[in-house]
Amino acid sequence: MLLFDESEDYYWIGLKAVTGVGNVTFRRLLERFDTPTGALTASPDELRTARGVTVSIIDEIRSGAWQRFAEEECRRLRTSNARLIKFTSPDYPKSLFEIPDPPPFLYVKGHLCPGNPAIAMVGSRRATTYGLLTTGRLAEALGRNGITVVSGMARGVDTAAHKGALQGGGQTAGVLGCGIDKIYPPENRKLFDEMAEKGCLLSEFPLGTQPLAENFPRRNRIISGLSRGVLVVEAVEKSGSLITAQYALEHGRDVFAVPGHITFATSRGTNRLIKQGAKLVDCVEDILEELPGFTATTGRPIPASPSFSLSPREAAIYELLSRSPLHIDDIISQTELTAGEVSSMLLHLELKGAVTALPGTHYATTV
């Protein structure tokens, strides 16, 4: 068994626990110091050279107050049957680099298939019978076609989506608004166990985090970020499902919606999405035909998402290019790296098949 001071997880958890270190500052510190260990053991003068690092952050790091939380979290991690997937890992979903603040690591139970195309299915916790049956039918069809179904493990549409995907023999991922060791809602205990065995559960929140209302809008960006598109089955006019749809638009994802009965409150949100341009879905082919590589001949999309490991400095460049192609000078100006380091990292990324060179010293990701 590793001692805490020998555990890589200990330092990743510890750096994230430093007051004032959010996702962006975390990644900037790794650009500058290469590892969480390097950042946490750096001198105050060295820390001041990293963008976004304030005097209060330096004081928090130097105080060592993060150590106790990191030790306790490592203990909880060992007893929870969960693991960390860091953004440097080949298992980390590369699609998350396309969102503004991807988490530096995720708590995961089960098996995540980052190379599979994914569709998010979201909707009302108080879904109608029509909504539940439609969700289950579409999720099962997506699963049979090799599409990972992503949802939030909540009551109603989320639960029906996960169950449908499993019934279709497909992969499904549940993104939690609480710690991965918390079962919420409690009646989904059997589904949680099945997801951990046959699918995947993941969370960015520390172990023990309660399912607080403010956590769910934040987790919705992960649901969108993991997916090629978001399907809204039933939603009232102001709901978390519409927040997820808005994230999808901001992330450049497709938005789909199932039309509903005009007299149902749970149909108003989806019907409005269709009026605003979301694609109407009444069969699974309406979704599949929008996925790259899908053909009517094979009936299956071709997984296109890459799977490779990244160093923190490579990840910094890959994240920038995931949003848009850039000139090498823009990459240098937007990272903590020197011109020589950027050139070296771009070469490494090209050799991994992660980025490609474009005319005029521009670079882009390969997918």
| Burial class for 213, CB neighbours closer than 10 Å (0-12, 13-18, 19+) | exposed
CA distance 149 to 360: 39
Cβ–Cβ < 8 Å for 121, 149: yes
108-288 maps to CATH 3.40.50.450: yes
Mean pLDDT, residues 57-64 taken together? 95
pLDDT of residue 100: 85
* pTM, entire model: 0.90
Mean pLDDT of the chain: 91
Tokens of 353: 């098949």
Cβ–Cβ < 8 Å for 227, 174: no
pLDDT of residue 38: 95
Strand partners, 327: 362
Fold of the domain built from segment(s) 4-80: DNA polymerase; domain 1 (1.10.150)
pLDDT of residue 73: 96
pLDDT of residue 190: 96
pLDDT (tens digit per residue) in 333-367: 998 889 999 999 999 999 999 999 999 999 999 87
**Bigger pLDDT: 136 vs 294:** 136
CA distance 92 to 78: 20
Paired sense of beta strands 362-365 and 326-327, if any? antiparallel
Domain limits, CATH 1.10.10.10, in the chain:
312-365
Domain limits, CATH 3.40.50.450, in the chain:
108-288
Domain limits, CATH 1.10.150, in the chain:
4-80
Q: Is the pLDDT of residue 5 over 70?
A: no
Which CATH number does 312-365 carry?
Answer: 1.10.10.10
Cβ–Cβ < 8 Å for 270, 235: yes
